[in-house]
Amino acid sequence: MKSRAAIQVERGGPLVVEEIDLPDPGPGQVTVRNFAGGVCYSQIHQLRDPGAPRPMGLGHEGSGVVTRVGKDVTHVKEGDHVISTWVPRTPVSGLPVPRPTGATFRGEPLIADGDVYTWSEHMVTFADKVVPMSPSEPTDVTCLIGCAVLTGAGAVLHTAKVEPGRSVAVFGVGGVGLSAVAAAAAVGAGPVVAVDLDDRKLRFAEEFGATHTVNASDTDPVEAIRDICPGGADYAMDAVGIPATALQILRAVRQGGPRADNQGGTAVLLGIPVADVPLDLNEILLYQRHYRGSLGATVPDTDFPLFLDWARDGRFPLHKLVTDRFSLDRIDEARVALEEGRILGRAIVEF
């Protein structure tokens, strides 16, 4: 079958919306008609990557309905509503390697990071990249669970294992950062400090549970966090990935010292690093701080229903996270708006 999709044909070239060819699903695959797909900054990194293969299919968080299933697929069936994600349902060792899905563009294999390409009307993907959800759930905002929500909330739940009453600082409150803020509030953390350069985004973060905000453009965020959380935060998370914030989260967490019962705070890196960071390892060693990376730290089959429960009972304002909506034909407008910092929460593409 044929379907329209947003793809990048050449390195450095624009996004184009054209027809792709989709095969019948293989034994472990499904065909999905997409309802919506999130516009994540990871796609900006991919579009800029000179080493990424083209033609490239894009979009790695989505919602849709299964229209066909391969013979070995058992956890979903035709007609099921699903959340699509780049995080596999079963763990893999090391980084996942994109697999040919069978989709082609002008006779060439369409390469998709994470095996999904939700900036398309339909896709054929592997069944381990879709998780069923009730048809009573929204068909639009739920697409964000496939990346933004799982990345931010997963870091809180699983990487940091934030406990009630512990302090959390989140640097960068876009879609991922807001999800971390909301998850921290949902588990009873406090104070929850949002750090950004944009007062508009900081005010928005308060709607997701931030108890304090810090504008890092006019104050030292590390000192501000220490004023709010005496001695430093228990946890600090970087949803940006630039060298400055990657270092600031380490310095923003509390110090420990000698003895096994004198551990420091935990810094968690969520944002994709864009440059090398000159790190003084004594900042970790001497104060027994912990520095961790968090890459899609969720278990989709159990965490996605939890996130949906949070949204349903009002603990996670998922509907507020979507602040901009675009049609597939306007996908390049969405890309530009994201690059220029004009998206308050998260943009989605609707079909």
Mean pLDDT of 229-235: 97
Q: What is the pLDDT of residues 2-36, one digit of tens each?
A: 999 999 998 878 899 999 999 999 999 999 999 99
Output the pLDDT for position 128.
97
* pLDDT exceeds cutoff 90 at 232: yes
* pLDDT exceeds cutoff 90 at 323: yes
Percentage of the chain exceeding pLDDT 70? 100
Output the pLDDT for position 13.
83
Mean pLDDT of 182-189: 98
Output the pLDDT for position 95.
85
CA distance 341 to 351: 24
Output the pLDDT for position 154.
98
Q: In whole numbers, what is the pLDDT of the chain averaged over residues?
A: 96
- Which has more pLDDT, 17 or 52? 17
From residue 154, how far is each of 18, 151, 242 by CA, in Å?
Answer: 35, 5, 21
- Per-residue pLDDT band at 296 (split at 50, 70, 90): very high
Which domains are assigned to the chain? 2-146+317-350 (3.90.180.10), 149-293 (3.40.50.720)
**Shortest CA distance to 246 belongs to which of 294, 201, 181?**
294
Output the pLDDT for position 97.
85
* pLDDT exceeds cutoff 90 at 340: yes
Residue type at 209? G
Output the pLDDT for position 86.
96
Output the pLDDT for position 94.
87
Output the pLDDT for position 324.
97
Output the pLDDT for position 12.
78
Output the pLDDT for position 146.
98
Q: What is the pLDDT of residues 112-146, one digit of tens each?
A: 988 999 999 999 999 999 999 999 999 999 999 99
